[in-house]
Chain A
């Protein structure tokens, strides 16, 4: 079983709609979590950290559910430019080793 699992999608979303997707992690000792965005053939870029209390950055909201061991990302008022692959990341040990999920593809359509 992979340490971080994501639904690969694609999630096809009309422009202006809301989309949400989850990521599950297997290591209950994971302390830090992130969402990254990756555009086709580009490097992953940090989108946001995920805090225990949840956090919001503009149209993006991330939540952490430790009891069920998943994190979520919600995108409101989707823009065409939100089309990308979203990578879920869990920090699994003290040196900062990151476990990446394989990504969820989001396609926003006009």
Chain B
């Protein structure tokens, strides 16, 4: 059981480039989320989804897009990378009845 997987693990981008962070879960969870975590700071919610075809903004959505075409996948797209988006990005999926949230291993992104 893989749980939540994320790719890539590391990425370096130049300012202005775009890219997609991949996230997949095999637990058949309806709820999925994207967070960013900056040094010494807590997790901040970027976008979340309560099911296929349904997404909504979190606390810090600017500069990011998401889509949810299937229950399993929840990619995060950076539209035009900026140095302020240098961070560690975690994808998570949440059990519908227990609300227990499971995280992927993270993507460490550096924007130069």
Contact = CB atoms under 8 A, between A and B. Distances in A.
Interface of A: 32, 34, 41-46, 49, 87, 89, 91, 95-98, 100-103
B31 A96 contact: yes
Contacts of A98: 33, 94, 99, 101
Question: Most chain-B CB neighbours within 10 Å: which of A43, A91, A100, A102?
Answer: A43
Interface stretch (B12-20, B42-50, B60-68, B70-78): B42-50
Interface of B: 31, 33, 41-43, 45, 48, 50, 88, 90, 94-96, 98-106, 108
B102 A46 contact: yes
A30 to B, nearest CB: 11
Contact of B94 (A43, A96, A100, A103): A96
Contacts of A97: 45, 48
A98 to B, nearest CB: 6
Contacts of B105: 42-43
A91 B90 CA distance: 18
Nearest to A99: B45
Given A41-B88, A101-B42, A96 B106 contact: no
